[in-house]
Amino acid sequence: MIKKTKVALIFGGRSAEHDVSLVSAAAIHGRLDKRAYSVSSIYIGRDGAWKIVDSPRGPESVLKRGRRSSFLPWQSRGTGSFSADIYFPVLHGPYGEDGTIQGLLEMADVPYVGAGVLASAAGMDKAVMKTLFQAEGLPIVRHQVVDEAAWAAGKKAVIDGILAGIPLPCFVKPSNLGSSVGISKVKSPGKLRAALDLAFGYDRRVIVEKGVRGREFECSVLGNDHPRSSLPGEIVPHREFYDYEDKYINGKTTFIVPAGIPKLLVRRIMDLAVRAFKAVDASGMSRVDFLHEESTGRLYVNEINTIPGFTAISMYPRLWEASGLPFSRLLDELIRLGFERHRLKKRRFERDA
């Protein structure tokens, strides 16, 4: 008999994207080949409690009744407590996608799927991300970063500064969040204050970006030192922009996979996606989002997501499917890359010892 690899899914979490994480984890759990993997499920409640559950595929009321676990993987060897061959974080947003869980797993010296601490933190913080993109010469949209202290000290001064540098319409976003939570599209000066107040409810720093009228594309990236990109796909929002309600509630957005665009633009998107991946030193997986301006034809790198969604409508697995890599094989590759990254790190430390 072939020994199964024990994979531990970590999902839920304390962020506003808790519900999205549950759906992503359920999709991954359902697609992992049970002939090759023994799958364990670790649910993190909204209160931060860690619990061992049967699977992520039940209602949250059942998940909350799971067996409590301290989850200290560095104590797991020989103690009879929880252990796995590799850990698969499926946590979106702060306290999971931002380097915090990755730091815990690095401390434990265990293999895990996805980006490391630096890339996860940089990919989560839109302000830092854009600084890294700019340093690598990637095309980004004009933006300003506002911190909470400046906002508290003088709201009128902040608004005046934004209006002087960013044309309307603009987008106001929390710097550290995803799934379009806390984002507003602002068309008139009188709406800026409410949009900033909303965004500051989620983070101490807010990013204000020039609105780009045009098309939205996404591209999936897979790999470690030699990443490759999928064919790009296009998102056609049902609402004014691709917000949380459009993504996860209404479900009326149109996805064109792969995008029906000229080959030159396809190659440009695929190239920039890999460059963005390398700019934050990502590994394993990422989804890179793009804006294509209608009036100028300019292509902008909007952001990178180091733990993209794996829901039924999520573009990351769909783009790889369209590129010839089915969901189950994609998961196999992500797990292989996690082992590879850990093995190379161990080899380097042993050589330097």
Catalytic (active site) residue 17:
yes
Angle between helices 327-352 and 18-31 (to 10 degrees): 100
What's the gap between Cα 200 and its chain centre? Answer: 20
* Phi, psi values for residue 169, rounded to 5°: -75, 155
Which whole-number Å values give the CA distances from 185 to 17, 151, 342, in the listed order?
A: 20, 19, 41
The C-alpha atoms of residue 60 and residue 116 are separated, in whole angstroms, by: 29
Using a 10 angstrom Cβ sphere, with 0-12 exposed, 13-18 middle and 19 or more buried, the burial of residue 79 is exposed
Q: Which of 182, 289, 300, 318 is catalytic?
A: 289
Q: Which of 17, 97, 234, 243 is catalytic?
A: 17
Which whole-number Å values give the CA distances from 277 to 45, 198, 300, in the listed order?
A: 30, 30, 15
Catalytic (active site) residue 248:
yes
Catalytic (active site) residue 300:
no
Which whole-number Å values give the CA distances from 215 to 3, 294, 302, 323, in the listed order?
A: 47, 7, 12, 21
Catalytic (active site) residue 245:
no
Catalytic (active site) residue 341:
no
Q: Which of 287, 302, 316, 338 is catalytic?
A: 287
Q: Which of 30, 106, 211, 248 is catalytic?
A: 248
CB 224 within 8 A of CB 337: yes
User: What contacts 349, CB < 8 A, 6 or more positions away?
Assistant: none
CB 129 within 8 A of CB 123: yes
CA-atom Rg of the chain in angstroms: 20
Q: Which of 175, 305, 314, 323 is catalytic?
A: 305
Q: Which of 13, 114, 233, 309 is catalytic?
A: 309
Catalytic (active-site) positions: 17, 179, 248, 287, 289, 303, 305, 309
